[in-house]
Amino acid sequence: MTRPTRRGFVAGCSATIAGMAGARFPSLAFADPDVDINHEVLVVVFLRGGMDGLNMVVPISGADRSTYVDARPNIAVPLGGADSALPLNGQFGLHRAAQPLHELYQSGKVAVVNATGLDEASRSHFDSMEFIERGTPGVKTTGSGWLARHFISAENLPPEIIMPSVSVGNLQATSLLGDRNTINMSSPGSFNLQIGPWEWRDAQRVALRHMYAGDDTWLHASGLQALDAMDIVELNASGNYTPSNGAVYPSGSFGDGLQVIAQMTKLDLGLRVATMDIGGWDTHVSQGDDGVGYFAGLMATVSQGLAALYTDLDGSGDENYTDRLTMVVQSEFGRRLLENADRGTDHGHGNPMIVVSGNAIGGVHGSWPGLGPGQLFDDADLAVTTDFRRVLSEILIRRMGNHHLGYIFPGYESYQPLGIVSGTDIPPDYSAGGDGLFADDFESGDTGNWSAATP
Amino acid sequence: MKTLESNRTHNRRELFDQARNRAARAIEETTTDRMNQPGGERASHMRHGGRPSRGESAKALPAPPSAAIIALNRLGFGPRPGQIAEFNALGSTDAQRLQAWVDQQIDPAGIDDATCDTRLANAGYETLNKSLAQLWADHVASSPQWNVRIQPYYEIERATLLRAVWSKRQLLEVLADFWHNHFNVYGPDSWAAPVWSHWDRVVIRGNALGNFRTMLGQVAQHPAMLYYLDNYTSSNAGPNENWARELFELHTLGADHYMGVLRQNQVPTGPDGKPIAYVDDDVFEATRCFTGWTFDFDTGLFEYRGDWHDHFQKTVLGVSIYANQPALSDGNVVLDEVAFHPGTARHISTKLAHRLIGDDPDPAVIDAAAAVFEAEAAAPDQLAQVVRTIVLHPSFLTTWGDKVKRPLEVVASALRAADGRFSFSLAEDDTGTLLWRYDQAGQPLFAWRAPDGFPDHKDDWKSATPRVMTWRILNWLIDVRNHNDVHRLNVLGQTPTAARTSNELADFWINRILGRPMPPAERLEIVEFMAQGHNPDFDLPLDSDEDTRDRLRSMVGLILMSPSFLWR
């Protein structure tokens, strides 16, 4: 199957629209095939439940190794043997089940950032996820997600863009909350209305769009968003998908979801952001001893998935997407240093973030706070030395070209690059509303073109 | 083209303006609170009384319809044919009708539910009334096949849909769904599924209009919850804090009354002299109180193991618990303290108001409900009184369009309005197909994995997957041509012979499904779809032409997919 070209897609749209008297795909009608809408792609993977980062990025030497082994007599990831941690440097190793990720690390495509997290003292799953995904630590009532605010403030987003973001799963990710252009779906194959009496489907679809275009309530807007999403997916992604370069995704919804992201990326419809979740990390009980068991299974799934997505997108020439691909993996918090009596771990604090990118500056980054006495948060958990917003801000500035940190992360004003991805540094704009950016014709409302708001 | 571009930009700009305002507020809140007081950001949430509105700013919303429409859609799963008239016969004003209807509904035993009971009996369920011991013996201890082990879960999944569609005790059904999610347990789990009918019947339904403390006590001792949140394994030698943490954060005081790693003596006290919030140390101390609360894996019954219990003294929410208290005493003291804490009254009242009224309820409703929750804390019908207070508040009838039907409500209300006839038995293939389709819409019953339950806020349900996947179900429900399927919606059989023009057909089915007129522009789309360019007052060849009959089915699908059908 040849990949549909953007020009072919738009031409196809036009023909369809002519046939449908303009009723079915109006949101696509203005696409200009001469504008290259492709840019950086950011994939945000959220590990829900509090991933045990100390068993993913494992201390392998010195006093911290002894402390770690003493604190985790059963569940520590061993050194040596078939399940040995895989060294990242002299100080840390990756869980054995993360071998596919380790291979990428060895080729310099993985940046590990230690001891990241919230500057909030919360051990609540739900608060922590809200704080992170809304991008406002301490405030879970912020009405939009940080990725939605990235889109609102990005200056390099052409109006022709067809599919700016995809949120894979049954519900739209909170980080994209408020973004009406997001396509939220689990599987493109069933994301359509090819059901019901066939001879009236098209007319029904026209009427449906008219009904949802008939008022401007939030519900009408959400209906139009769904109709637009369906149009785009149905026209572009209804066929079977075959991964490239021999990539093999893990079976199950995580692998399936990442494959959808690869498929959407290759459509060349301008995808900038994709989100994907995998749950099951709340390992209070029996997480697996000696580097094997339940946690190892989850770790294998995640690592295989990330590696498969990277491989799938790592072609040459027009098929090379990894040059503009950045994946970031995070969880709401880490887990306690001490294993509990059920050979599990309870809610903790600091945790690694993992960045996989064709533009990664490979290595272990961030300041390691240590596991010794006086070094732990609340005398129990790995401390946080790197605000999670710092990692995301570096990706926003260096890869996505968006420096409006004050708008995306209100209240955050201490950004310094860690050096986890390459790219051009732009001085951050900490103003909350980005007023310098949107002061003139954007505010007056007479522009019909989003990019006209660019200074 | 120009117009379309402008629309797109317009959306973005609105979003930007809204988000900017909120961002400014967020900064203000964060900085001032943080500077002024310890744990200040928490305190700011408490002032707001939970999760304030988020997402879109106030925009055009539909005018509130009659009390019958509001009550049947928000306190139930939508009207069945004839029920709006029944509701309206209950009084001469909307307020009277609502009060009379609510008074019936909060006493479900007083409602004759024979139709539903007959259907439940005909569905052939075997596990609905088994005792906990019997469930364990039949579905766990005998090491049966997987489909037998999980049978109670499958039956409750189907019985829940059956009741949503057929039971006249609609408020009970809505509240059962509420409490299932409040005390969320992942039902398909291999330890929860075999006891699911007991959990549903006794713990959830048995207390949904009862007393909160009583319900909490049963929750804390049920094997489904003991397993789900790991307390079954918690002992003096190896305490596990999972249950204790969610008990505070989700089940009782709520995260709005959490002050993180502050020390217990740093938490301000309220007028009653007790701490206004909990901290991690309360979670740890409560964990110790619940050590030894487990269940017998041979019988499934709750078991207290004194040899696992931490007998030494503890302090929870300012209360000293002395060493060496009698069996169960420590845990019961914790349950008393959290169940009767003012924060719990607010947390539960807020969640109920969000469910029954809207995402941004009048703060006075929450104040009133919380006051009743506290004052009636010992009453056997405490929760019924709280619910009554919420739904009889004047703002109940003036709020509309602040909620959207979630997949369960879409499917149940469609089957009610257009009289779907699934048997919901385990054996029926069409029921299996319906459930397979339903699960893809994002709200598989009792299958939310995290302990916070399915989200309730409209922001979580307005994205494309719930919309598209429920539209697909609706268009499947009307698509019965060439299928020997008597369970989906029999559109033709229910269309009166007097209705043959496009206008008549549209108006009959709009009234049948919505129980009220559609906004004119929306109705016009329905009529024009049916007329297909012809005069809408001409008779259509419904009785002779298959295409026309298909078009009528699609028209009914369109009404079910309309914005008007989704409002709550």
Convert the pLDDT of each residue in A40-92 to its tens digit. 999 999 999 999 999 999 999 999 999 999 999 999 999 999 999 999 999 99
Tokens for A126, please give them. Answer: 């739900």
Contacts of A344 in chain B (CB under 8 A): 230, 240
User: Which residue is associated with the tokens 């079910």?
Assistant: B560
Tokens for B147, please give them. Answer: 């489909």
Residue A80 domain-assigned (yes or no): yes
A2 has a pLDDT exceeding 50: no
Residues B244 and B203 in one domain: no
Residues B249 and B319 in one domain: yes
Contacts of B442 in chain A (CB under 8 A): 170-171
The CA distances from residue B289 to A319, B212, B283, B328, B331, in Å, are 60, 20, 10, 8, 5
Residues in chain A: 455
B564 has a pLDDT exceeding 50: yes
Q: Which residue has the higher pLDDT, A3 or B459?
A: B459
The CA distances from residue B469 to A171, A214, B407, in Å, are 11, 22, 9
Whether residues B239 and A170 touch (CB distance < 8 A) is answered with: no
Whether residues A141 and B48 touch (CB distance < 8 A) is answered with: yes
A376 and B CB contact within 8 Å: no
Count the domains in chain B.
3
What is the Cα–Cα distance from A132 to A146, expressed in whole angstroms? 8
Contacts of B51 in chain A (CB under 8 A): 140-141
Q: What are phi and psi of A115, to 5 degrees?
A: 55, 45
Q: Which residue has the higher pLDDT, B18 or A381?
A: A381
Question: Which residues, 6+ apart, have CB-to-CB distance to A388 below 8 Å?
Answer: A116, A117, A118, A132, A330, A353
Residues B275 and B194 in one domain: no
Whether residues B59 and A216 touch (CB distance < 8 A) is answered with: yes
What end-to-end distance do the CA atoms of chain B give, in Å?
34
Exposure letters B17-50 (e unless 16+ CB within 10 A, then b): ebbbebbebbbebbeebeeeeebbbbbbbbeebb
Residues B144 and B203 in one domain: yes
B86 has a pLDDT exceeding 60: yes
B30, B62, B479: residue with CB nearest A196: B479
Question: Which residues, 6+ apart, have CB-to-CB distance to B105 below 8 Å?
Answer: B75, B111, B169, B170, B171, B172
Residue B348 domain-assigned (yes or no): no
A27 and B CB contact within 8 Å: yes
Exposure letters A194-232 (e unless 16+ CB within 10 A, then b): ebbbeebbebbbbbbbbbbbbbebbbbbbbbbbbbbbbb
Whether residues B529 and A144 touch (CB distance < 8 A) is answered with: no
A177, A411, A442: residue with CB nearest B459: A177
Count the domains in chain A.
1
Residues B200 and B255 in one domain: no
Nearest C-alpha of chain A: how many angstroms from B314?
Answer: 20
A31 has a pLDDT exceeding 80: no
Residues B109 and B186 in one domain: yes
Cα angle B444-B450-B451, degrees, rounded to a multiple of 5: 105
Whether residues A341 and B11 touch (CB distance < 8 A) is answered with: no
Q: What is the DSSP letter of B20?
A: H
What end-to-end distance do the CA atoms of chain A give, in Å?
42
Residues B177 and B249 in one domain: no
What is the Cα–Cα distance from B187 to B453, expressed in whole angstroms? 11
A452 has a pLDDT exceeding 70: no
Residue A329: beta bridge partners? A45, A354
What is the Cα–Cα distance from B108 to B75, expressed in whole angstroms? 13
What is the Cα–Cα distance from A230 to A297, expressed in whole angstroms? 34
Tell me the pLDDT band of A4, cut-offs 50, 70 and 90.
Answer: very low
What is the Cα–Cα distance from B127 to B153, expressed in whole angstroms? 9
Whether residues B563 and A211 touch (CB distance < 8 A) is answered with: yes
CATH code at A147? 3.40.720
Q: Which residue has the higher pLDDT, B536 or A33?
A: B536
Q: For residue range B227-272, what is the model confidence (pLDDT) as tens digits?
A: 999 999 999 998 999 999 999 999 999 999 999 889 999 999 999 9
Mean pLDDT of A376-399: 96
Residue A4 domain-assigned (yes or no): no
What is the Cα–Cα distance from B454 to B354, expressed in whole angstroms? 13
What is the Cα–Cα distance from A400 to B131, expressed in whole angstroms? 59
Average pLDDT, chain B: 90
Which chain B residue has the Cα nearest residue A184? Answer: B464
Answer for the pair A326, A355: CB distance below 8 angstroms, yes or no. Answer: yes
What is the Cα–Cα distance from B377 to B213, expressed in whole angstroms? 8
Whether residues B9 and A447 touch (CB distance < 8 A) is answered with: yes
Q: What predicted TM-score, i.e. pTM, was given to this entire model?
A: 0.83
Spell out the SS3 assignment of A76-88. Answer: CCCCCCCCCCEEC
Cβ burial, residue B150 (10 Å; 0-12/13-18/19+): buried
| Amino acid (one-letter) located at A390 | R
A268 has a pLDDT exceeding 90: no
Cβ burial, residue B143 (10 Å; 0-12/13-18/19+): exposed
How many CB atoms are closer than 10 A to CB B517?
13
Nearest C-alpha of chain B: how many angstroms from A123?
Answer: 7
Q: For residue range A82-119, what is the model confidence (pLDDT) as tens digits?
A: 999 999 999 999 999 999 999 999 999 999 999 999 98
Residues B320 and B250 in one domain: yes
Residues B144 and B231 in one domain: no
User: What is the crossing angle of helices B170-182 and B382-391, to 10°?
Assistant: 110
Q: What are phi and psi of B190, to 5 degrees?
A: -70, -20
Nearest C-alpha of chain B: how many angstroms from A12?
Answer: 17
- Asked which of A176-180, B94-98, B398-402, B469-473 is least confident by mean pLDDT, the reply is A176-180
Tell me the pLDDT band of A32, cut-offs 50, 70 and 90.
Answer: low
Tell me the pLDDT band of A433, cut-offs 50, 70 and 90.
Answer: low
Q: Which of B37, B240, B468 has the most A C-beta neighbours within 10 Å, making it the best mutation to test the interface with A?
A: B468
Mean pLDDT of B439-465: 91
Answer for the pair B365, B393: CB distance below 8 angstroms, yes or no. Answer: yes
**Residue-range definition of the domain harbouring residue B497:** 491-566
Q: For residue range A303-340, what is the model confidence (pLDDT) as tens digits?
A: 999 999 999 999 998 889 999 999 999 999 999 999 99
Tokens for B268, please give them. Answer: 């301000």
Look at residue B196 in the predicted model and tell me its pLDDT. 98
Look at residue B307 in the predicted model and tell me its pLDDT. 97
**Residue-range definition of the domain harbouring residue A274:** 35-192+238-440
A177, A210, A285: residue with CB nearest B230: A285
Cβ burial, residue A317 (10 Å; 0-12/13-18/19+): exposed
The CA distances from residue B537 to A229, B496, B511, B516, in Å, are 36, 16, 18, 21
Answer for the pair B379, B389: CB distance below 8 angstroms, yes or no. Answer: no
Contacts of A158 in chain B (CB under 8 A): none
Residue A2 domain-assigned (yes or no): no
Residue A123 domain-assigned (yes or no): yes
Tell me the pLDDT band of A35, cut-offs 50, 70 and 90.
Answer: low
Residue B220 domain-assigned (yes or no): no
Residues B168 and B246 in one domain: no
B22, B261, B442: residue with CB nearest A142: B22
A439 and B CB contact within 8 Å: no
A8 has a pLDDT exceeding 90: no
Helices (H), B418-543: 429-439, 464-477, 491-494, 502-514, 520-531
Q: What does DSSP say about strands B293-295 and A110-117: parallel, antiparallel, or unpaired?
A: unpaired
Tell me the pLDDT band of A386, cut-offs 50, 70 and 90.
Answer: very high
Residues B192 and B267 in one domain: no
Q: What does DSSP say about strands A363-365 and A110-117: parallel, antiparallel, or unpaired?
A: parallel
SS3 content of chain B, % helix, strand, coil (to 5): 55, 5, 40
Look at residue B37 in the predicted model and tell me its pLDDT. 34
Residue B373 domain-assigned (yes or no): no
What is the Cα–Cα distance from A233 to A225, expressed in whole angstroms? 12
Contacts of B4 in chain A (CB under 8 A): 26-27, 29-30
Cα maximum dimension of chain B = 85
Residue B192 domain-assigned (yes or no): yes
Residue B74 domain-assigned (yes or no): yes
Q: Which residue has the higher pLDDT, A240 or B378?
A: B378
A126, A178, A450: residue with CB nearest B452: A126
Contacts of A124 in chain B (CB under 8 A): 245, 249, 255, 258
Whether residues A126 and B249 touch (CB distance < 8 A) is answered with: yes
What is the Cα–Cα distance from A208 to B383, expressed in whole angstroms? 41
Q: What is the DSSP letter of A175?
A: G
Mean pLDDT of A126-149: 91
Mean pLDDT of B400-416: 97
Residue A326: beta bridge partners? A42, A357
Residues B76 and B200 in one domain: yes
B291 has a pLDDT exceeding 60: yes
What is the Cα–Cα distance from B208 to B219, expressed in whole angstroms? 12
A355 and B CB contact within 8 Å: no
Pick the most confident of A213-217, A306-310, A342-346: A306-310
The CA distances from residue A320 to A104, A265, A329, in Å, are 16, 11, 22
Whether residues A212 and B467 touch (CB distance < 8 A) is answered with: no
A439 has a pLDDT exceeding 50: no
Answer for the pair A339, A73: CB distance below 8 angstroms, yes or no. Answer: yes
What is the Cα–Cα distance from B79 to B413, expressed in whole angstroms? 7
Look at residue A234 in the predicted model and tell me its pLDDT. 84
Whether residues A342 and B245 touch (CB distance < 8 A) is answered with: no
Residue B121 domain-assigned (yes or no): yes
Contacts of B529 in chain A (CB under 8 A): 200, 203-204, 207
Residue B43 domain-assigned (yes or no): no
What is the Cα–Cα distance from B445 to A383, expressed in whole angstroms? 39
Contacts of A282 in chain B (CB under 8 A): 242, 450
Whether residues A126 and B12 touch (CB distance < 8 A) is answered with: no
Whether residues A280 and B449 touch (CB distance < 8 A) is answered with: yes
Tokens for A234, please give them. Answer: 């149905």
Mean pLDDT of B211-224: 98
Whether residues B5 and A432 touch (CB distance < 8 A) is answered with: no
Helix (H), strand (E) counts: chain B: 28, 4
Look at residue B451 in the predicted model and tell me its pLDDT. 92
Question: Which residues, 6+ apart, have CB-to-CB distance to A295 below 8 Å?
Answer: A52, A55, A75, A95, A283, A287, A288
A10 has a pLDDT exceeding 50: no
| Amino acid (one-letter) located at B272 | D
* Closest residue by Cα to residue A274 from A190, A188, A160: A188
Contacts of A448 in chain B (CB under 8 A): 2, 5-6, 9
What is the Cα–Cα distance from B490 to B485, expressed in whole angstroms? 9
Q: Which residue has the higher pLDDT, B4 or B208?
A: B208
A 389-428 residues inside an 8 A Cβ radius of B: 407, 410-411
Tokens for B30, please give them. Answer: 């964060």
Which chain B residue has the Cα nearest residue A22? Answer: B1
Q: For residue range B21-48, what is the model confidence (pLDDT) as tens digits?
A: 443 443 333 333 333 333 333 233 232 3
Q: What is the DSSP letter of A440?
A: T
Whether residues B24 and A410 touch (CB distance < 8 A) is answered with: yes
**Contact pairs from chain A to chain B, CB under 8 Å:** 296
What is the Cα–Cα distance from B473 to B465, expressed in whole angstroms? 12
A 53-112 residues inside an 8 A Cβ radius of B: none
Q: What is the DSSP string of B107-154?
A: -GGGS--HHHHHHHHHTT-SSTT--HHHHHIIIIIT---HHHHTHHHH
Mean pLDDT of B474-503: 91
Mean pLDDT of B332-360: 98
Question: Which residues, 6+ apart, have CB-to-CB distance to B145 below 8 Å?
Answer: none
